[in-house]
C-alpha cells in the first residue's frame, strides 16, 4: 500500500461518501436531473441574502480591502465584531482575544480538538452524530466515544455520566442536530452542565464542553438555548456555511467562554493549531462576515420544505418525529437493514444516507436543502419503496 496504514480506513470511509455523490451524477445522466431525487447532501441551495453580494462588491471596490497575512486567529476588527454580536445576543462578556476566526465549523473543530486533546483521550458524543467527527478525532489522535441517545434523540444524561472516565477531556454536542434535526432543551442542557461539573470534580480534571452549532439559526418555533448559560467551560463554534449559505467559502469561528478554565491559554493554542492546517481563515470572507453579524437566509424557506416533506412522508407511512431544527429528517427504516432500504430507495431514483453512517442504524437521513420540486416529485418513489417492503 502506498498510503499510510493508519489512513487506509479513513480513506475507505471517505470514498463511500464520494461513491454516493458519484452515483447521483451517474443517475442524473441516465434518468435526467428532474427524475432523480437526491437528498444525500447537506449543501444549502438557498442563495445567500443579497446583502452578501453587496458587501462583497463594496469591499472589492474599497481602499481598505486587505489581502495580506494577519494575526493567525483573524483580523482584530472582525473578531471584535463577532464578540460584540455575541455579547449583544448572550450578554456573556466576550473579548476579541477569545474569538478565533476559522475555515468553517470543520476548521474550528479541528483547531479546538487539536488544542485540547492529549493522544488517546476521549471525546464523548451523543449518537447519532455528524460523520465528520470521526475524522476530526483522528486528526487530534483522540478516541471518539459515542453514547446512545433516547429513541426521540434527546440526550440520555445517565448514560453520558456513566460513560465519562478519567480519559474524557471533551463532551461534544451538536444542536440543532445533524442528522436528527433534534434541538436540545434548556432543561437537558442544564442537566448536562451539572453532569460535566460533577465528573470534572470526581476525576480532578477539567472536562470541556464543545458546542458545534452551524445550524443554530435554522430552528422552527423553538428556543435554541444559549450554550454559555449551560456550563462556563464551554467553547461554542459555528460557521456561515448554512446560515448565510456560504459553505464553499470556508468561514466560521470559535468563541471561548470568558469563565472557562484557562480560557486565554486555550484561545492562544487554537490560534496556533490553525497555523498547522490552514494558517488563517480566508481573508476576503472574514472581511465580509465582519460586516454581516446577525444576518441570515430566510429560514421560512426551510420550514416550508420541512412541513411539506414531513406531511408527504407521514402519508406514505414513514415513522419519525417532526424535527425542530437543521434541514434533515431521520425517519425509521421500514426494515431493520437501513443499508438495504437505502438501496431500495435508490431503485426508485431516491438518494438517502443510511443511518448507520451516523451511528444511528435502523434509520436513514434525508437532507431537504434541495429545491421544493425535488421534495414534491419524490413522494411516489417513497410510497413505492415503503409498500415494497410491507
Q: Rounded CA gap, 121 and 171, in Å?
A: 11
Q: Does 174 bind ligand PLP (CB under 6 A)?
A: yes
Q: Which is nearer to ligand PLP, 132 or 377 (CB)?
A: 132
Instruction: Select the residue interacting with ligand PLP from 42, 128, 271, 290 (CB under 6 A).
Output: 42
Residue 204 CB, shortest distance to ligand PLP, in Å, is 31
Among 247, 292, 310, 344, binds ligand PLP (CB under 6 A): 247
Residues in 56-115 at the binding interface with ligand PLP, rule: CB under 6 A? 104-106
Tell the smallest beta-carbon distance from residue 32 to ligand PLP (Å): 28
Name beta bridge partners: 171: 124, 209
Cell of 384: 413505492
What minimum distance in Å lies between the beta carbon of 387 and ligand PLP? 32
> Which residue's C-beta sits nearest to ligand PLP?
104
Nearest CA among 158, 267, 266, 176 for reference residue 214: 176
Task: Tell me how far, at minimum, the Cβ of 220 lies from ligand PLP, in Å.
Answer: 17
Residue 73's alpha-carbon distances to 92, 131, 252, 271, in angstroms, are 20, 26, 11, 5
Q: Smaller CB distance to ligand PLP: residue 121 or 213?
A: 213
Question: Quick check: 200 binds ligand PLP (CB under 6 A)?
Answer: no
Question: What Rg do the C-alpha atoms of the chain give, in angstroms?
Answer: 21
Nearer to ligand PLP, 136 or 382 (CB): 136
Closest contact distance (angstroms) between CB of 332 and ligand PLP is: 21
Q: Cβ–Cβ contacts within 10 Å for residue 57, how many?
A: 10
Residue 1 grid coordinates: 500500500
- The residue among 108 and 283 lying less far from ligand PLP, judged by its C-beta, is 108
Please report whether residue 214 would count as binding ligand PLP according to CB under 6 A: yes
Q: Which residues bind ligand PLP (CB under 6 A)?
A: 42, 104-106, 130, 132, 174, 178, 212, 214, 239, 241, 247, 252
Amino acid at each position: 500500500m502506498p498510503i499510510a496504514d493508519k489512513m487506509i480506513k479513513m480513506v475507505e470511509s471517505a470514498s463511500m461518501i464520494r461513491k454516493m455523490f458519484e452515483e447521483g451524477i451517474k443517475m442524473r445522466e441516465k434518468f435526467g436531473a428532474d427524475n432523480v431525487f437526491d437528498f444525500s447532501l447537506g449543501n444549502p441551495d438557498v442563495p445567500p441574502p443579497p446583502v452578501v453580494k453587496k458587501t462583497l462588491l463594496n469591499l472589492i471596490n474599497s481602499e481598505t480591502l486587505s489581502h495580506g497575512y494577519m494575526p493567525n486567529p483573524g483580523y482584530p476588527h472582525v473578531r471584535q465584531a463577532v464578540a460584540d454580536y455575541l455579547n449583544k445576543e448572550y450578554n456573556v462578556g466576550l473579548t476579541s482575544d477569545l474569538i478565533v476566526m476559522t475555515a468553517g465549523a470543520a476548521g474550528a473543530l479541528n483547531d479546538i480538538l487539536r488544542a485540547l486533546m492529549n493522544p488517546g483521550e476521549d471525546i464523548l458524543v451523543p449518537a447519532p452524530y455528524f460523520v465528520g467527527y470521526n475524522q476530526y478525532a483522528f486528526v487530534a489522535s483522540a478516541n471518539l466515544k459515542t453514547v446512545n441517545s433516547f429513541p426521540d434523540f434527546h440526550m440520555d444524561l445517565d448514560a453520558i455520566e456513566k460513560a465519562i472516565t478519567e480519559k474524557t477531556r471533551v463532551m461534544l454536542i451538536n444542536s440543532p442536530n445533524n442528522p436528527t434535526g433534534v434541538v436540545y432543551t434548556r432543561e437537558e442542557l442544564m442537566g448536562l452542565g451539572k453532569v460535566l461539573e460533577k465528573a470534572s470534580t470526581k476525576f480532578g480534571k477539567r472536562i470541556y464542553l464543545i458546542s458545534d452549532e452551524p445550524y443554530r439559526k435554522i430552528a422552527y418555533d423553538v428556543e435554541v438555548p444559549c450554550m454559555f448559560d449551560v456550563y462556563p467551560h464551554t467553547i461554542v463554534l459555528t460557521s456561515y456555511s448554512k446560515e448565510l449559505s456560504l459553505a464553499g467559502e470556508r468561514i466560521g469561528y470559535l468563541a471561548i467562554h470568558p469563565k472557562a478554565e484557562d480560557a486565554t491559554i486555550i484561545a492562544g493554542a487554537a490560534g496556533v493549531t490553525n497555523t498547522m492546517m490552514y494558517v488563517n481563515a480566508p481573508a476576503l470572507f472574514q472581511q465580509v462576515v465582519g460586516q454581516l453579524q446577525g444576518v441570515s437566509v430566510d429560514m421560512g424557506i426551510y420550514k416550508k420544505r420541512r412541513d411539506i416533506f414531513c406531511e408527504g412522508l407521514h402519508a406514505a407511512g414513514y415513522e419519525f418525529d417532526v424535527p425542530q431544527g437543521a434541514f434533515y429528517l431521520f425517519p425509521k427504516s421500514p426494515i431493520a437493514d437501513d443499508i438495504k432500504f437505502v438501496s431500495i430507495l435508490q431503485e426508485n431514483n431516491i438518494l438517502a444516507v443510511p443511518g448507520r453512517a451516523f451511528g444511528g442504524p435502523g434509520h436513514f437521513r434525508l437532507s431537504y436543502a434541495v429545491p421544493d420540486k425535488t421534495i414534491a416529485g419524490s413522494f411516489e418513489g417513497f410510497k413505492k419503496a415503503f409498500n415494497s417492503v410491507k
